[in-house]
Amino acid sequence: MARTPVWKSIAIALTDDIAQGRYETGGKLPAEAQLSARFGVNRHTVRRALAEMAEQGLVFPRRGAGVFVAAKPTDYPIGKRVRFHQNLTREGRNPAKQILTLETRIAAPREANALQLDPGAEVHVYDGLSLADGQPIALFQSIFPADRFPGILDALQEQHSVTAALQKLGVEDYTRIETRITAKLATAMQALHLKIAEGSPILRTTGVNADPQGQPVEFGRTWFAGDRVTLTVGRET
């Protein structure tokens, strides 16, 4: 009877640890030196086991940070109605948002153009972090015309939801009229918030939402952690 290779036995043991919840999704595995001591093998053998687990999608390395337990990427529909809480709840995940900054400033030219504002018009800006089951999956920035929504920052502070804040201010529904998706590499600040390595792949979306009369109400940018979200296009939501 063929003997199971040592590296494979290590991979099986660590896989069982993950299945038993000893290492949480998104959590870091012990360092190679610790695993080598635990199993009484050299680092090369541990590395071979971790590589096998990575090929199976069970773990993933982050440059300079270690090896982490992989989560199944969350399907995130980009369609006519893009709703964060609804999207994650549908996938069986627990959604949450964390406010980073709320501010009022002059609109940049691209923002003014997207919101059909005059040059020099003010906008309200909501920067935040989106989480699924407590794990950060995206950074976002939502920009609103200040003259139309003077109280939206207070509503966002209270609601932590763009949909709920707009409803409170009289916009019962809104739909996506444009979305652009671009592959990027995480900056140091993005990596810090998303808990990924600097230079890791991220997906940036930019979009414009409009009310039922076709008037833009929000210009948004979102930076998704590439290994935690699968963007799906063409599905009505």
Cα-to-chain-centroid distance, residue 196: 11
- What 3-state class would DSSP assign to 28? strand
> Per the structure block, which two tokens stand in for 18?
């993950």
Show the domain range for 56: 6-69
State pLDDT tens for residues 35-49: 999 999 999 999 999
**Beta-carbon contacts of residue 93 (< 8 Å; ≥ 6 apart):** 74, 132, 133
For residue 154, give the amino acid letter: D
* Cα atoms in the 13 Å half-sphere on the side-chain side of 128: 20
Q: Is residue 236 very low, low, confident or very high in pLDDT (cuts 50, 70, 90)?
A: low
Q: Is residue 58 domain-shared with residue 89, that is, in the same domain? A: no
> What is the mean pLDDT of the segment spanning 49-60?
83
Whichever domain contains 49, its CATH number is: 1.10.10.10
**Beta-carbon contacts of residue 42 (< 8 Å; ≥ 6 apart):** 36
Domain annotation covers residue 1:
no
The pLDDT score that the predictor gives to residue 159 is: 87
Q: Residues 66, 47: contact at Cβ < 8 Å?
A: no
Q: Is residue 61 domain-shared with residue 151, that is, in the same domain? A: no
Of 69, 94, 112, the position where a domain reaches its end is 69
State pLDDT tens for residues 130-165: 988 777 889 999 999 999 999 999 999 998 899 999
The per-residue pLDDT of the chain, averaged, comes to 89
Q: Is residue 59 domain-shared with residue 88, that is, in the same domain? A: no
Whichever domain contains 181, its CATH number is: 3.40.1410.10
pLDDT at 55 over 70: yes
- What 3-state class would DSSP assign to 89? helix
Q: Where do the DSSP E strands lie in the chain?
A: 59-62, 66-69, 74-78, 95-106, 122-132, 135-145, 175-185, 201-210, 216-225, 229-233
